[in-house]
Amino acid sequence: MAPLSRIGSLAAAATLLASTALAQGYPERQITMVVPFAAGGPTDTVGRLVAERMSEQLGQQILIENVGGAGGTLGAAQVAGAEPDGYTILLHHIGMATSETLYRELPYETTTAFAPIGLVTEVPMTIVARADFEPADIASFVAYVKENADTITMANAGIGSASHLCGMLFMQATESPIVTVPYRGAGPAMTELVGGQIDIMCDQTTNTTEQIKGGTVKAYAVTAPERLEILPDLPTTAESGLPGVEVTVWHGLYAPAGTPPEAVERLSAALQSALADPGIAEQLAELGTAPSPAEDATPAALEARLTEELARWKPIIEEAGVYAD
């Protein structure tokens, strides 16, 4: 029998050879990007733009799989339990940080179940209403909501979604217990808003900009620190007397924990190259956002952002006392 030290050396050598082979050959087949929200929503829009450019960089197609439900946790759980071989990845937004508190029992541990790949983009949100909603500007909108909270309906993309979180901040700031209506994604929610079945909504510019410009919804404010070039006449919530309603939706790309570092590095490099493409910057600009810079499209930057946001949202959610389970 070979000495244990030699067995250990052989095992280490085998691992090194496997890693080297992966680095040289990865990816060898199609990659699945799970988007944990409905097709047609804002995160899906970002995912499809990024997947197309990353596919070009990797030489293999990245296929989008929409796994909506439970505020994004169903799709996240699917990726957390996937084979950590680099062929299943997850595009998630701010809900990755908030679900840890919103769901008191998650089927995965947020900080240990995933291998961060990099930040993708940070999207402002807008407060919008059906096109024929009565108030003419943000000041009269806030006053109207306070007086009529019990008769107004607010759509969101599901418990834990970005639109739900933004709506929660708005209700806290205005002390208005509005009736909320959750949908299985921002796409269906927007359809109902445009159709007049719902009164108001807070959602990402990637889902609202075209509707605002087309006049199918009425816009009141943007939740970013500054006004947007794409919507210059839209005041910020801080300008409008709602400084607490400031939220941008950052998107990150993840792989299951245990994914070989070589695969994570390859994916991160492809992400950085994709985001540097002028074409994707132009498309995102049309939606009121921009790609993350190369220094943010890294595992370390995403890990730091997730840690920061977990700490930020935990007390806000606990104070509101709103849980998804």
Cα–Cα distance, 98 to 121 (Å, whole number): 18
| pLDDT score at 13 | 47
Closest alpha carbon to 219 in 240, 230, 235: 235
| pLDDT score at 280 | 94
**In the predicted model, is pLDDT for residue 1 greater than 80?**
no
Q: Residue 221 in 3-state DSSP?
A: strand
Pick the CATH number of 29-122+249-320 from 3.40.50.2000, 3.40.190.150, 3.40.640.10, 3.30.559.10: 3.40.190.150
Cα–Cα distance, 248 to 235 (Å, whole number): 15
Domain boundaries along the sequence of the chain: 29-122+249-320, 124-222
From the number of C-beta atoms within 10 Å of its C-beta (0-12, 13-18, 19+), residue 310 rates as middle
Mean pLDDT computed over 68-90: 95
**In the predicted model, is pLDDT for residue 220 greater than 80?**
yes
Mean pLDDT computed over 8-29: 61
124-222 has the same fold as 29-122+249-320: yes
For 174-207, give one letter per residue: b (16+ CB within 10 A) or e. Answer: bebebebebbbbbbbbbebbbeeebbbbbbbbbb
Q: pTM higher than 0.75, yes or no?
A: yes
E strands within 195-313?
200-204, 217-222, 248-256
Residue with structure tokens 């007049």? 196
Reported as a pLDDT band with limits 50, 70 and 90, residue 9 is: low
From the number of C-beta atoms within 10 Å of its C-beta (0-12, 13-18, 19+), residue 153 rates as middle
**In the predicted model, is pLDDT for residue 19 greater than 80?**
no
* CATH fold for domain 124-222: D-Maltodextrin-Binding Protein; domain 2 (3.40.190)
**In the predicted model, is pLDDT for residue 8 greater than 80?**
no
Mean pLDDT computed over 229-238: 94
Reported as a pLDDT band with limits 50, 70 and 90, residue 23 is: low
